Amino acid sequence: MKKYTNNKRFRLFALTLLGFGLWSCDNNLLETIPNDRLSVDVFWKTENDAKIAVNSLYTDLDGTNLVSWDAVTDIAHTNQPFNVEAYIESGTYDATSSKVFNEWSAAYKGVRAANYFLENVDKIPSANATVINQLKGEAKVLRAYQYIKLTGLFGPVPLVTTSLSLQEGREVVNATVPELWDFIDKELTEAAALLPATYPAADKGRVTKGAALGLLARANLLAGRYQKAADAADLVIKSGAYGLYESYEKLFSYAAENNKEVLLDKQFIKDTYSNGIFQQLAPYSQKNGGSTFVPTKALVDTYETTDGKKITDAGSGYNPAKPYEKRDSRLKYSVFLEGDVLPSGIVFKPQPTSGTADAIGSTYIASTTGFNIKKYINTDDYANPGNSGINIILLRYAEVLLTFAEAKIELNQIDASVFSAINLVRNGRNDVKQPSVTAGTQAELRDLIRRERTVELAFEGQHLFDIRRWKTAEKVIPGPVYGITFTNAQGQLVTVEAVSVNKVFDSSRHYLWPIPQKEINLSPLLKQNPNW
């Protein structure tokens, strides 16, 4: 069973206080304190106030929405055509898209909350500067996290670091992308100096120095600042504070929460602050699981064979009639495949003629590719699929290792440290044993590291950003969506194609999302991204 930390419950108490506002009564009605907002008359008085305030910032982190970003790439598909992500897949979205607006507004909500905290925390008369500085460091990291996402999705967005009046809000302008990356770099570097390497058990889940440095590595990789990315990742590696969890299969289970591989996650609690990831992603047979986003053949084909070859390589031994045999074990740990036992105890049978609830075409909710996402689908949640308490991982050590290796490859600084980082991801767990890589040209290693990131981090929200910075999105996204290959009644191999689906990616504008039209209407000085 999952053990909940006191820190998790304390954060929810903080969220409740901040959500409803703090209030008090006074005999003099002319001096009452507003009860519809947080008031400086009763708050920002103690260290505990500061802790409550910073705890509330964690609720603005991304959660299950991470999966939706992969669904608009080549490795996953939005299963129902009426979902807003389906319009992004088909290229028919614009600046009025609710998905675009919601991601923008959620990020700036987090920015606004962090700004408010940083503007007010110094009002607290504390003799413990270390505690206040730690809390400032947490807020800076959480604000930088939002700006990494905003810059990655939208490019030149407004850089807002203070609370804005209504008039100031109408006058915001786009920062340049280099200015944004400079700010993020400075913010995370400063924060890392303020944060501890670890916390007591009751404070698990708080931002650490390692999380700040890991995000610094991610940001600089996205920015193409490879030396800075390598240096930040190297600091995390050499800290010795992190390592790979021994089992990839169990990495996204309750038993593995707060393990040594997790640098940053969003924490949830059943019954109190839950998420619906089981209900969202599970196969339809699992109490009407939503199959909202499903894997594609393009992803499944990316996993190597057990001898380290691509399935298209000569001598790989890949058998289209038995496509899942002798494959990288991360495939079966990430994707529900034909014959898998599902949380309810039944066998997964997605073939169109199987007669099961998961058969392709049996209902519009069943997976149209015959694959379902397995990460985060835990038997513990089967009884109440909409009440999952599983933490959603936002940054883990495997990504840091791959960031280090990729940055060094791009710099053509290919040495033993590069192979060590790659091979730790490929075979450093008890249940993942892909052959070690010991040599290769820059081009060969670039291809390999991109493949490693794709399969290792599938459904964790990084692939959209990766194919944008690699400038490969225009090649890998467009076209039909394919699924399972099976043998039909006539003994022929048939590959499923999702009906009436054609992914579109226009390189002249889709490398950035449009700035929401609502924002431009409110702030006329904002400039729209090219060709939107």
In a domain, residue 35? The reply is no
| Sequential DSSP letters for 173-225 | -PPPHHHHHHHHHHHHHHHHHHS-S---GGGTTS--HHHHHHHHHHHHHHTT-
Cα angle 183, 152, 77 (rounded to 5 degrees) comes to: 160
Confidence at 12, pLDDT banded by 50, 70, 90? very low
Model pLDDT, residue 319: 95
Q: How many CB atoms lie under 10 A from the CB of residue 197?
A: 11
- For 437-452, what is each residue's pLDDT tens digit? 999 999 999 999 999 9
Q: How many CB atoms lie under 10 A from the CB of residue 23?
A: 14
| The pLDDT of residue 3 is above 70 | no
Model pLDDT, residue 30: 36
Cα torsion 85, 89, 95, 99 to 10°: value is: 10
Q: How many CB atoms lie under 10 A from the CB of residue 156?
A: 20
Confidence at 42, pLDDT banded by 50, 70, 90? confident
More confident residue, 29 or 497: 497
In a domain, residue 344? The reply is yes
pLDDT average, residue stretch 365-383 = 98
Any long-range contacts for 461-468 (C-beta under 8 Å, 24+ apart)?
Answer: 461/62, 461/66, 461/67, 461/69, 461/70, 461/394, 462/399, 463/69, 463/70, 463/73, 463/75, 464/69, 464/70, 464/72, 464/73, 465/69, 465/152, 465/222, 467/73, 467/74, 468/152, 468/511
State the Cα–Cα distance between residues 330 and 347, nearest whole angstrom: 20
| The pLDDT of residue 170 is above 80 | yes
| The pLDDT of residue 222 is above 80 | yes
The parent domain of residue 314 ranges over 273-386+481-498
- For 77-88, what is each residue's pLDDT tens digit? 999 999 999 999
Q: How close are the terminal C-alpha atoms of the chain, in Å?
A: 49
pLDDT average, residue stretch 11-30 = 39
Q: Residues of the chain with pLDDT > 70: what percent? A: 92
Element (H, E) at 144: helix 129-154
- The DSSP 8-state label assigned to residue 5 in this structure reads P
- The DSSP 8-state label assigned to residue 130 in this structure reads H
pLDDT average, residue stretch 341-363 = 97
- For 174-194, what is each residue's pLDDT tens digit? 999 999 999 999 999 999 999
State the Cα–Cα distance between residues 51 and 305, nearest whole angstrom: 49
More confident residue, 223 or 202: 223
In a domain, residue 220? The reply is no
State the Cα–Cα distance between residues 367 and 514, nearest whole angstrom: 30
pLDDT average, residue stretch 477-506 = 96
Residues 6+ apart with CB under 8 A from 124: 44, 45, 46, 47, 49, 50, 132
Distance from CA of residue 230 to its chain's centroid? 21
Confidence at 128, pLDDT banded by 50, 70, 90? confident
Model pLDDT, residue 506: 98
In a domain, residue 362? The reply is yes
Model pLDDT, residue 32: 41
| The pLDDT of residue 8 is above 60 | no
State the Cα–Cα distance between residues 43 and 51, nearest whole angstrom: 11
Beta strands in 55-144 (DSSP E): 76-78
Q: How many CB atoms lie under 10 A from the CB of residue 492?
A: 8
pLDDT average, residue stretch 412-435 = 98
Residues 6+ apart with CB under 8 A from 61: 110, 142, 145, 264, 266, 394
| The pLDDT of residue 100 is above 70 | yes
**Lowest-confidence segment of 32-46, 245-259, 440-454 by average pLDDT:** 32-46
Model pLDDT, residue 38: 56
Gyration radius of the chain over CA positions: 24
Model pLDDT, residue 125: 87
| The pLDDT of residue 234 is above 70 | yes
| Sequential DSSP letters for 8-71 | HHHHHHHHHHHHH------S-GGGPPPSSS--TTTSSSSHHHHHHHHHHHGGGS--TTHHHHHH
State the Cα–Cα distance between residues 256 and 241, nearest whole angstrom: 17
- The DSSP 8-state label assigned to residue 362 in this structure reads S
State the Cα–Cα distance between residues 175 and 173, nearest whole angstrom: 6
In a domain, residue 292? The reply is yes
Cα torsion 213, 219, 222, 223 to 10°: value is: -110
Model pLDDT, residue 105: 97
In a domain, residue 265? The reply is no
Model pLDDT, residue 45: 87
Any long-range contacts for 202-205 (C-beta under 8 Å, 24+ apart)?
Answer: 202/5, 202/6, 202/7, 203/5, 203/7, 204/5, 204/7, 204/258, 205/5, 205/7, 205/8, 205/58, 205/258, 205/265, 205/267, 205/391
Model pLDDT, residue 420: 98
More confident residue, 38 or 147: 147
Model pLDDT, residue 178: 98
pLDDT average, residue stretch 127-139 = 93
Per this entry, what is the length of the chain?
532
Beta strands in 250-387 (DSSP E): 262-266, 293-295, 335-336, 372-373
Instruction: Give yes or no for a contact between 302 and 313, defined as CB atoms under 8 angstroms apart.
Output: no
Tokens standing for residue 452? 């490693």
pLDDT average, residue stretch 333-337 = 98
| The pLDDT of residue 23 is above 50 | no
| Sequential DSSP letters for 412-423 | T--SHHHHHHHH
In a domain, residue 108? The reply is no
pLDDT average, residue stretch 503-507 = 98
pLDDT average, residue stretch 105-127 = 94
In a domain, residue 326? The reply is yes
User: Which phi and psi angles does 165 have, rounded to 5°?
Assistant: -75, 170
| The pLDDT of residue 7 is above 60 | no
Confidence at 1, pLDDT banded by 50, 70, 90? very low
Q: How many domains does the chain have?
A: 1
